[in-house]
Structure 1
Amino acid sequence: MVREFGLEIEGFDPVLAYEVKGKEQGPCLVIISGVHGAEYVGPRALMTFVEKIKNEDLDFNGRLLIIPVLNESGFYGGLKQVVAEDGLNLNRIFPANGSTKAHLIAKEVQEKLYPQADFLLDIHGGDINEELEPLVFFPAYAEDGQKNMIDKVMTNLSTTYLVPSQAKNGLYSYANSLGIPSLLLERGGMGLWTDEEADLVILNIFQTMKALGMISFDVKNGKPKMIKDPVYLSSPSRGVWYPKFKAGEFFDKGEVLGVLKDLRGDMIEKFEASYDGLILYQNIGLGVCEGDHLIAYGKIS
């Protein structure tokens, strides 16, 4: 049975959430999407997933906690990265210690969802200025039982790449720093969505549930490739950005990955590859600000 409830955000409308209980005891899987407003594949997938559960008798053990859209104002406004009410990137403020809406949402996640989670899946997609390969970020610092559970899940996911991360200030990464096994799934890009991509996210959810022992029926597993030594390039200033490759394309060491110029066409910086590798995701916006992500690349392990 699906139970609808809300995450209470003081001074604002509650965030829509669902609880689904299985037929037997088992792990609690927390699934969240819509942290960034214009990343639509995840919300589309979770809305479809909830409807699927309502209309079909899903035979599983354990419990699901599902939030299709965590950042509703960003979602309805089609905003790049931020919460409308305070202009903050919700995925960059964990642990939350402020009083604006983004902090209040993050506190609810920390206080209400983290304690219940045996595993957490945070679903993202390329924002309106990003193109990417389907990939999963995982905590490179996880150890022992936490690492074993993460490895068991992510190696069965039908994404293209697995990317190690040292980050600890995002929704999934802060959960990992507290010992909660968590992954960040990326599908989609450029503020677009398709039913096919949403269906692939749903497949990833079932693959996660299978790996956690929550379902017994057969699920087709993926064979993602491991990435090592990822490099993240950011803009040193505002400027006009010209990437030279597309997400998923391979390049050779020393090749120019992109150039940053000013409005007059004068060169600000040229970015060259430090090794043979491939583009994981990149900014495709023509205009960029200081500190904006430009390219993430890596090499297959």
Structure 2
Amino acid sequence: MTSLTQRSSGLVQRRTEASRNDREKATEGEEEERERDGQEEDERAGDKEARLTLMEEVLLLGLKDREGYTSFWNDCISAGLRGCMLIELAFRGRISLESGGMRRKSLLARKVIFKSDAPTGDVMLDEALKHIKETPTPETVQSWIELLSGETWNPLKLHFQLRNVRERLAKNLVEKGVLTTEKQNFLLFDMTTHPLTNNNIKQRLIKKVQEAVLDKWVKDPHRMDKRLLALIYLAHSADVIENAFAPLLDDQYDLAMKRVRQLLDLDPEVESTKPNANEILWAVVATFTK
């Protein structure tokens, strides 16, 4: 009788433990499923963000959320956006720099070489690539930034200018569900504006820039993601990087700007010679920092 009671109590105990284990496994399974759902949601969100070009990211950082336009006092963003185009084309394998030669020409003296006219899927990038392909004599990175901006005294080269770049980029962001389109009256004239509608994408962009120079900071720029490194340089060149740092606390802001300054103090000529360096990227950096 006693042994039967012991066996039955042991059986109850094993069943209890089994049911407890089942509940724990179920709970763990639910947690794993929630984690997978969260990861999938992040990946979907990341996919949306990944579809933004460097030009669109820089413009998005510069746009006032409610007003839907960039600062009237910002005279750097135009050249910065053209620098974005050259780096984007280089990342996609459409252009490169000519060889430095035996005497090792400087980045600013080397010409941009056309490599491929395969469509990029972006109208403005294809337009810039067409100009680079059809120019009779190759130009330097600095010259292309000036030509694409229309900042040239040569009337024979005015046709290289890309017009209405900010408006066209804003329309791209409208199509991608990031901005919307409105009309605003400014006393003497009406202006089309593009206020922010999807704040999540902009906040992820801002967080990405902040983390790159704070929590995820690495001293070696060649260990950073190339697109993120380019974004930091170009956001600074376009005078919009402070918009990403504005929400930070004072000590975080100071640290972020200090690390951006460390990147700006690097010698592009030296960095461009390191393994896997993108020479167009460093040539654009040299154009804006020299």
Q: How would you bin the TM-score normalised by the shorter chain?
A: under 0.3
Q: Which has the higher strand share?
A: 1
Task: Give the TM-score, by structure 1 length.
Answer: 0.22
Larger radius of gyration: 2
Higher relative contact order (CA 8 A, sep 6+): 2
